[in-house]
Structure 1
């Protein structure tokens, strides 16, 4: 995917912004956005100003944050600026660190001979806050699609908030409401309560450019049957969705492995076909979700196999990877490429087949990419050494092939693990790092996103490519 051309102007020259905010410093920069720390002149509130260079990414983030504006564990959008022929600038609450830094600092202390890592009570509180944020998204049928420690920001008071909704999608709008009642209260950030109770202010001079939609703020318990019924309705609709057309090209039947035609194979099997440079998916279809979303280490198997009809469950797989990393201070599946990512998953969970995941044979790349049979998969227990049975069980409820078998965030909030000693510590007692550390290549995140595909066959072992009627098949050894 080509990166956007640089602009001749910057946030520093936009009068409507500098009239209200003092730009202090740049705190993050990526291909699709730059983030600045700023001060609101009216009351000296420190904020983050996110200048988004991609139209669709800005549209998605604004739309999602408007819907989630009263969710205590989602970053607050104070207002945004968007004029014709200019980048959108989102004014967000400033949170100085993230969960990736918490994990990195704990790992450094453990390796230095200090404590054993993050205490169980702290782990539980981090998990509960993450689950509350994800539950708020899923109640509103918003799939985040890029959950990872670097996108879970943390304030001075220990309150964790989901951020970076540039890849988020609203699957069902507000076609169904959740029943009343919630057994698990979520933390709120007291200094920002006034801002969260009001709709964000808008400076907008483009007709119909602002995302709209009713806000569903009910925090009730949705039955598992209702959850999957809603997903079935979504898949049956297969409605046209124009929001993917600029940033994430329609996949059709292509995927992160970009299934080639026979002519592609004859040309050059490895010639730049593994990133989204094409204009469409090759079959003229409109509205399919893109499979190249999220960060590789946290990407669900259905995405790695090219699914374009996935649902909220891709976030649940990411949650399992995050929880495992909290428990071990190591990434669960740190693949160096998408193929390596799949190989690591298969070595732990075993071979993917219809027995463990009914319907998996219909995945676009299921017959294109294959691996030698794993006779003795390691199992998740081997990836979670010295952790309790309950902790391993919690991760297993999320890290499983069949998306329909993954526990929802709402179900996990009621898991006995969070109601047994040691109980989750109060958010105010959590250790919050003073600064934000640099993250590993695949674990980076925070205020900005880089939506490019990272699919490749690099750094992998021997392979055999065979031509088929549909294209080619690749077997890895």
Structure 2
């Protein structure tokens, strides 16, 4: 740490604190993750080494860049490029959601990050607003926090990456967790990340989590854990309840037809029918998308396309469609956002309510 000076603390996680620092020699601003426990802690050491190994393999413009890793006084430090905001902070500023074209650009960038990860047989397993960094100047999005990422077991190159069969059944903050994870599956795959893309998309459209996780169904589940299953009569009453609000009704007037098709394609209950990362990137929802640098989605996609079999009910929409048990399942920073009025700040390119918007 001698060559860095701490500017401020910017966040804290299960294993450590993230510091905004300045390189004394170059003046560059970086983010340094300082782990709380000593290097002798096997859990911390294993998690850190796994994250370093994966990040060194994943070099992509939509994945946060690891610049260096070092040890000081039995502490582990990871040095990353610094990005000024994360998506959770952005939604604090814009609680009504983001402008439609910004939503499209963010989802496209996240899809590209997952496409790259999945091509390297890496599943992230913890996609949530806190782990999506946003540059407020050029709208670039970067996926971060690979502490719970894994190589797929059948293709693992290192034992600590999750070899020898099953994956851990706890991953992802509850609101962004795929159905197969909620059911305790340990044989899940890349599809869990695709589900999370849909959850993120829904949340940035209107500022509210798509599946908040604390509901009547949650309550029924907890009751049954303690007292056993519902009686036949109770189950009959439960099944007569009206269907919850559909995706179509929830986002009526907020999503285009193509955007709706994309969301429904990633939020398929049957993971085998869920869109792949390849299908996400090439979906026609992104046709005509132009980045701030003038690059179109169509220009980028061919660089990554491979022959991929189409999958799922919505897979024909594009040109080439086809734990750790205690990972802080605490939504306090999220619930605080939905229970507290946030002051509005004017960044015209991103707010749906803005009268002037910078176009992509």
TM-score, normalising length: structure 1 = 0.53
1:118–1:21 CA distance, 2 compared to 1 (3 A): same
Paired residue for 1:381?
Answer: 248
Q: Distance in 2 between matches of 1:391 and 1:377?
A: 23
1:94–1:338 CA distance, 2 compared to 1 (3 A): farther
Contact conserved, 2:153 with 2:167, CA < 8 A, in 1?
A: no
Q: Distance in 2 between matches of 1:51 and 1:338?
A: 40
1:73–1:341 CA distance, 2 compared to 1 (3 A): farther
Paired residue for 1:305?
Answer: 183
Q: How far does the alpha carbon of each residue in 1:423-472 deviate from its partner, in whole angstroms, 9 at most, with x for none?
A: 455269xxxxxxxxxxxxxxxxxxxxx823569xxxxxxxxxxxxxxxxx
Contact conserved, 1:138 with 1:312, CA < 8 A, in 2?
A: yes
Q: Distance in 2 between matches of 1:25 and 1:454?
A: 24
Q: Distance in 1 between matches of 2:261 and 2:219?
A: 22
Paired residue for 1:144?
Answer: 124
Paired residue for 2:140?
Answer: 159
Corresponding position: 1:426 with 2:292 = yes
Q: Look at both structures and tell me which one has the larger radius of gyration over its CA atoms.
A: 1
Q: Distance in 1 between matches of 2:259 and 2:210?
A: 14
Q: Distance in 2 between matches of 1:173 and 1:154?
A: 33
Q: Distance in 2 between matches of 1:414 and 1:337?
A: 35
Contact conserved, 1:123 with 1:424, CA < 8 A, in 2?
A: no
RMSD of aligned alpha carbons: 3.1
1:173–1:157 CA distance, 2 compared to 1 (3 A): farther
Contact conserved, 2:151 with 2:161, CA < 8 A, in 1?
A: no
Paired residue for 1:40?
Answer: 23
Contact conserved, 1:56 with 1:243, CA < 8 A, in 2?
A: no
1:31–1:127 CA distance, 2 compared to 1 (3 A): closer
TM-score, normalising length: structure 2 = 0.69
**What is the aligned residue count?**
280
Paired residue for 1:99?
Answer: 87
Contact conserved, 1:296 with 1:338, CA < 8 A, in 2?
A: no
Which of the residues 58, 71, 74 maps onto 2:63?
Answer: 74
Paired residue for 1:408?
Answer: 276
Structure 2 unaligned residues grouped into runs of 5+: 38-43, 295-325, 332-360
Q: Distance in 2 between matches of 1:330 and 1:34?
A: 27
Q: Report deviation, 1:121.
A: 1.8
1:243–1:417 CA distance, 2 compared to 1 (3 A): closer
Contact conserved, 2:32 with 2:79, CA < 8 A, in 1?
A: yes
Q: Distance in 2 between matches of 1:50 and 1:341?
A: 37
Q: Distance in 1 between matches of 2:87 and 2:93?
A: 10
Paired residue for 1:120?
Answer: 100
Q: Report deviation, 1:242.
A: 4.5
1:71–1:338 CA distance, 2 compared to 1 (3 A): farther
Structure 1 unaligned residues grouped into runs of 5+: 1-16, 111-116, 176-211, 214-240, 246-285, 344-364, 429-449, 456-477
Contact conserved, 1:25 with 1:36, CA < 8 A, in 2?
A: yes
Corresponding position: 1:394 with 2:272 = no
Q: How far does the alpha carbon of each residue in 1:290-309 deviate from its partner, in whole angstroms, 9 at most, with x for none?
A: 11111010011111111111
1:290–1:340 CA distance, 2 compared to 1 (3 A): same
Q: Report deviation, 1:29.
A: 1.8
Q: Distance in 2 between matches of 1:341 and 1:407?
A: 31
Higher helix proportion:
2
